[in-house]
Amino acid sequence: MSFNLTPTICVLKKIIHCDCDCFYASIEMRDDPSLRGRPLAIGGQPDQRGVVATCNYEARRFGIRSAMPMSQAVRRCPELLILPPTMEKYRIASRQILAIYRDYTEAIEPLSLDEAYLDVSQATSHHGSATLIAREIRARIADTVGITASAGVAPNKFLAKIASDWNKPDGLFVILPDQVEEFVAALPVARLFGVGKVTAAKLHSMGIQECRDLRAWSLADLMQHFGKLGNSLYQLCRGIDLREVRASSERKSVSTEETYVHDLPDLTACVAELPALYASLQQRVQRADAISHIHKLYVKIRFSDFRITTVECVSKTLDIGLFQQLLETGFQRRQLPVRLLGLGVRLAETEAASGQQLGLF
């Protein structure tokens, strides 16, 4: 096996990563000041298998975090206030934020309603100072939307995202090009993009705690131990990230799903839920203008033991009969009560070429 050991040329850019602080919760506290200072979570009810979509910092002090079952969150904080998401309010705020970004650059890559990368390398505002642009963006979000946002400024996306989290909440952190070497050297390897708990534990077992330790390993050795991830580790521990800020995001799927308060006991009960799910999916596909881009249909099932299975087939049209066949196939894999059902479509890759992008905003 041979490896390409040619040095990577790193092109320095001016990247801002902007991330609103506990976005959903911040919008709710903006609209109802009596919620401020109290532990608050946005999501489903604990007796209906709800999960935490986001929570404010008062709730985080109890160890509550996004994606945690709401029942567990309430056990950690019995006085936790729970509000259902009001998505239209969040989308309005998101559009206001996007409009602010566009005053500085069109090179915007949204990651969610409240988070985005901006490439301001060619920006003319503030004589091209990314730091001053980020400071002004944060001030305008506070004035216009009424919430706080944190930002990171760095020569690439990887470092900008880490920087935005450095002084949260309501913070700004800047990593200048001549600071990259020292900053990354002291960075814990668990902070590297693509490193989860399992990979972090493996790195630690190899005596690798910080990026300075990782730099002692050759590219060949890292790829031998970690496969393709080894190349990413080799680059990131040196502060190298060549990913571009992609100004548009091509949608790859449309789906709908339902978590049931009581488990569906058998296949018959699951089939009975199909018409409602199918109707919801039809509406979403139509709203996304994706009907002509359908490439596959799929069914997602989460059983009572929390195992998930997905079954799909090629189809260019919505067909409830095909969804039922997929459901029957998936159910036979475990034949247990079902807590969640989902229907979805995967979209053809030719969508981008057709000029009909499906944006996140």
Which residue among the candidates 28, 58, 109, 115 is catalytic per the annotation? 115
DSSP 334: T
% of the chain exceeding 70 in pLDDT: 93
Of 128, 111, 132, 112, the C-alpha closest to 120 is 128
Lowest mean pLDDT among 85-89, 330-334, 351-355: 351-355
Determine whether domain 181-236 maps to CATH 3.40.50.720. no
Q: What is the mean pLDDT of residues 41-69?
A: 90
- Domain 253-354, second-level architecture: 2-Layer Sandwich (3.30)
Q: Is residue 196 very low, low, confident or very high in pLDDT (cuts 50, 70, 90)?
A: confident
DSSP 149: E
Q: Is 351 a catalytic residue?
A: no
Give yes or no on whether 23-86 and 181-236 have one common fold: no
Q: Is residue 248 very low, low, confident or very high in pLDDT (cuts 50, 70, 90)?
A: low
In the CATH scheme, what is the code of domain 23-86? 3.40.1170.60
Q: What is the mean pLDDT of residues 197-216?
A: 93
User: Residue 286 has what pLDDT?
Assistant: 82
Tally of CA atoms within 13 A in the half-sphere of 283 that contains its CB? 7
Which uninterrupted H or E stretch holds 131?
A: helix 130-144
Q: Is residue 358 very low, low, confident or very high in pLDDT (cuts 50, 70, 90)?
A: very low
CA distance 48 to 259: 8
User: Residue 360 has what pLDDT?
Assistant: 35
CA distance 129 to 118: 13
Q: Is residue 349 very low, low, confident or very high in pLDDT (cuts 50, 70, 90)?
A: low
Give 83-142 pLDDT, tens digit per residue.
999 988 999 999 999 999 999 999 999 988 899 999 999 999 999 999 999 999 999 999
Q: What is the mean pLDDT of residues 329-341?
A: 94
Q: Is residue 11 very low, low, confident or very high in pLDDT (cuts 50, 70, 90)?
A: low
The residue extents of the domains of the chain are: 23-86, 181-236, 253-354
Q: Is residue 66 very low, low, confident or very high in pLDDT (cuts 50, 70, 90)?
A: confident
Q: C-alpha 336: how far from its chain's center?
A: 31
Is 114 one of the annotated binding-site residues?
A: yes
pTM above 0.75, yes or no: no
Is 19 one of the annotated binding-site residues?
A: yes
Give whole-number Cα distances, 286 to 54, 252, 260, 283, 318, in Å: 28, 15, 25, 5, 11
